[in-house]
Amino acid sequence: MTTQSSIEIPLDELKEGLILIIDARKRNTLFDSLTDADQYNEARFQIIEGHFYDYTFNDPEFHFAESTKPIVQPHSRLKHTGVIAPNIYVGTLRLQVVHKAENRSLHIELEVQSVKANYRHDYRDMLEFITEQCTDILLQANAPVRQTFETDFTKDSETLYQKFSFIKSILGSDEFAESIHRIVTSPVTQWQEIAEQKDIRRAGRITNTNIRALLRGGSRTPLSQSHQLREHGLNSLPERISSIRKTDSVDTPENRFVKHALETFLKFCADINAKSQPGSPLKRESELLIRDLESQLHHSIFKEISRPHSLKLNSPVLQRKEGYREVLRAWLMFDLAAKLIWRGGEDIYKAGKKDIASLYEYWVFFKLLELFKDLFNIEPKAISELIKTTSDGLHLELKQGKQTALKGLYNSGSRRLKIRFSYNRSFSGKQQYPQAGSWTTTLRPDYTLSIWPEGISEREAEQQELITHIHLDAKYKVANLHDFLPESSDQRLDEEKTENRQGIYKNADLLKMHAYKDAIRRTGGAYVLYPGDESLRQKGFHEIIPGLGAFPVKPSKTDDGINELRSFILEVIEHFTNRNSQREKVSYRTYDIHRNPPSSNNEIKEPLPEAYNENRSLIPDETFVLVGYYQSDEHLQWIKSNKLYNLRLGLIKGSLRLNPQTLGAKYLLLHTKGDKRSGELWRISGDGPKVFSKRDMMKKKYPKEESKIRENYLIYEIEEVLDPEFSRLEWDFKNLKNYPSGRGSALPFTATLSELMKHVTD
């Protein structure tokens, strides 16, 4: 492959001397791949996705057809010149060249390379893995494999190309070629007896069969009169007798199966080739695979192997021996893959397109499915329903934009959690809180892992804030963390704003993760999956979720990076077993606050101290005021001088009822007999009320006769309220909801600060 700044493509078939000239706007983005094109079944001239190329026909009477838009963007007036912009398209690009007036046309091909250098190997490895996973699903006991389907070659070319690509991912792999090499270099053999006619003088050991031949064999030679055998009644011997020779033979049932499998593969590819359009990618790729299979079958070992009478697929050799077991596996995969129709494949194969990004998205789905099947008890029925039986074959129910959901269960021993793994789940922006959905517009992450406690439905878990969603997005185009999280500086931020005004968002992936996390209700985290090497985990607060980040998951048979994501998911599940986590507390508080809409009469617009520093916990609805009675001015002076307020304990009338509101009160409002309103507001200090004995009260010189002092009192420590918002205010405490009117007016009670502030007197 050689780099070019400009290429000229002759189009003499359309008109002698006609040339298409293509110029690269950026260096090292235009190639002449004459030597590599056949190896990868690609077009000779190659460009790179995401770049721009200027083109010109040397004859203004010719231009590209309208059907080539928007990849081809012709000049508004000079149709024979313009720009080729492949955007994210990857694969063989077929462009139709037409004459301005006459009905003449010709197709040319350009290969669009992916920006990822190893995309060819990634494409093959991902397709092979998807084929393996589909086959595994089909081989389950409850999968629809008992019905027989014949491959229908009358289907549209996209379906044929999808099926062929599945088969090619099996048969065109290095592993399959290595398996055949192992077999032909070290085949399984067996001893075989061969009967042959031997000169009787070289017969060697005589068997019972030979003795009969000595007596009855033809072409006999008389024995001399002195020969000792005449004494036993033999007058002659046959010139030749039959002899059994044992030899090592490769004509075994296992080798017959291998030959049969290769011949079946070859016939399938030949049928595909015969039905494909001349010059199409399917035609060329099938020819290459046919060539490989014919080369394998031409090995001398297969000339000695006969056709099988039956296929003994339960043979220990086929199931265990290297080489043979891989061919058996390929056979089982082939038989099912040839019958499988995948509508989602249209996103990848249509018109020779190789949408590597879409394939990566499907590949990641199966990688996640494999991971979650291992971690959770995914319902087998849900997995088997990924492939459904229809009148024309087996359909893989997996397609971009179509929701797929699998449910399971996780049992930690201390907690049982329900799991739902969704592909392409839409979170609608039309659903009102507390229903599931988005706060704004409808959002659709690639994959969503939802977790909630067993015992309630998913809908109930949404309404009670008990469900957590973790979103994952597949981004094949993200090469490294810098692509996902670019460094920022004042200059870079200025450039970014300029680009945004032009519609360019280089940090779009990061913004989308923020959108998932912040817009989709009850989201615990949003993470990018990309084929790189580094991970990024940003915690929202102190615990593993909520968070944002990225995990490397790359197409590789040896190091796909999934273990790091696995560890993260295990940490998340371990986090869910902690019933005292901050997430659990936030979940409850969110539910408690929002389960009922606020009423209009609950508004507080009166001045209140700001909730910071020592007042940080000042939430009017959750701040309680203890309204207490003092008996006399002397009692009030004792309260003020000692900074203590006492309440009776016990079962006697006037004793305080202990509850969270009275024990956790933050303020004390004092009143006495005859008061209609009060401004005696104090702050309750200390760590909570204390119990004073009669003796303690006497030490404090409580203004009451000793005989009338009770054995125990509940004591609140108090201090002056210095907040200017409360200065010179008085409250109509008799209108408070819990006020005990009549003879019980001296009994203590509580009110919220919200209620109290609504009864400020003028």
DSSP-assigned letters across all residues of 576-594? HT-TT-HHHHHHHHHHHHH
Q: Are residues 165 and 271 in the same domain?
A: yes
Q: Which of 62-71, 147-156, 685-694 has the lowest mean pLDDT?
A: 147-156
CATH number, domain with residue 65: 2.60.40
Interacting residues of 226 by C-beta distance below 8 A, sequence separation 6+: none
- Shared domain for 582 and 619, answered yes or no, is no
Q: Is 571 helix (H, G, I), strand (E, B) or coil?
A: helix
- Asked if residues 551 and 495 have their Cβ atoms less than 8 Å apart, the reply is no
Domain-located, residue 578: yes
In this predicted model, what pLDDT tens digit does every residue of 485-541 receive, in sequence order? 666 556 665 565 565 554 544 567 778 888 999 999 999 999 999 988 888 888 888
Same domain for 492 and 573: yes
Q: Which of 304, 337, 362 is the last residue in one of the domains?
A: 362
Residues 89 and 128 in one domain: no
Domain boundary among 329, 362, 395: 362
pLDDT score recorded for residue 193: 65
Split at pLDDT 50, 70, 90, the class of 671 is very high
Residues 266 and 181 in one domain: yes
Q: Is the pLDDT of residue 150 over 50?
A: no
Average pLDDT value for the chain: 84
The answer as to whether 302 is a domain residue is: yes
Q: What is the pLDDT of residue 351?
A: 46
Within-domain flag for 237:
no
pLDDT band at 415; cut points 50, 70, 90? very high
Position 152 pLDDT exceeds 60 = no
Assess if residue 601 is contained within a domain.
no
Shared domain for 161 and 95, answered yes or no, is no
Q: Report pLDDT for 153.
A: 44
Q: Which residues pair with 197 in a beta bridge?
A: 242
Residue 291 and residue 160 share a domain = yes
Per-residue pLDDT at 35: 72
657 compared with 452, residue with greater pLDDT: 452
Instruction: Write down which residue in 362, 379, 400 finishes a domain.
Output: 362
CATH code of the domain in which 731 resides: 3.10.590
Q: Which residues contact 331 (CB under 8 A, 6 or more apart)?
A: 257, 261, 264
Question: H helices of 13-156, where?
Answer: 37-40, 119-138
Judge if 435 and 500 occupy the same domain: yes
Question: Domain tally for the chain?
Answer: 4
Residue with the bigger pLDDT between 733 and 203: it is 733
Task: Let me know if residue 107 belongs to a domain.
Answer: yes
Residue 525, phi then psi, degrees to nearest 5 = 180, 160
Segments forming the whole domain that contains residue 131:
120-187+253-362
What proportion of the chain, given as a percentage, has pLDDT over 70? 81
Alpha-carbon distance of 643 to 532, in angstroms, equals 67
HSE-CB at 488 with a 13 A cutoff on CA atoms is 8
Predicted local distance difference test score (pLDDT) of residue 338: 64
Cβ distance 357 to 88 under 8 Å?
yes
pLDDT of residue 141 exceeding 50, the answer is no
Q: How many CA atoms lie within 13 A of 672 on its CB side?
A: 9
Specify the pLDDT at position 143: 40
- Domain presence at residue 46: yes
Give the model confidence (pLDDT) of 575-626 as tens digits: 999 999 999 999 999 999 888 888 777 788 888 999 999 888 899 999 999 9
Please say if the pLDDT value at position 145 is more than 50: no
Amino acid at 479: A
Q: What is the pLDDT of residues 3-37, one digit of tens each?
A: 899 999 999 999 999 999 999 999 999 999 877 77
Q: Please, what sign has the CA dihedral across residues 74, 76, 80, 81?
A: negative
The answer to whether residue 382 is domain-embedded is: no
User: What is the largest distance, in Å, between two alpha-carbon atoms of the chain?
Assistant: 162
Q: In this structure, are 636 and 686 located in the same domain? A: yes
**pLDDT of 739:** 94
Query: Residues 430, 469: one domain?
Result: yes
Choose the weakest-confidence range: 368-372, 396-400, 455-459, 571-575.
396-400
Please indicate, yes or no, whether residues 154 and 299 belong to a single structural domain of this protein.
Answer: yes
* Residues 226, 51: Cα–Cα separation, whole Å: 102
Q: Is the pLDDT of residue 272 over 80?
A: yes
Instruction: Please indicate, yes or no, whether residues 86 and 127 belong to a single structural domain of this protein.
Output: no
Residue 53, pLDDT above cutoff 60: yes
Over residues 147-160, mean pLDDT:
46
Span 95-112, average pLDDT: 90
In a domain, 661, yes or no: yes
Whether the per-residue pLDDT at 139 is higher than 80: the answer is no
The pLDDT value given to residue 48: 92
Q: What is the pLDDT of residues 160-173, one digit of tens each?
A: 666 777 778 778 88
Percent of the chain topping pLDDT 90: 46
Residue 156 — pLDDT band, cuts 50, 70, 90?
very low
Model pLDDT for residues 120-133, shown as the tens digit of each residue: 777 777 877 887 78
Residue 161 three-state SS? helix
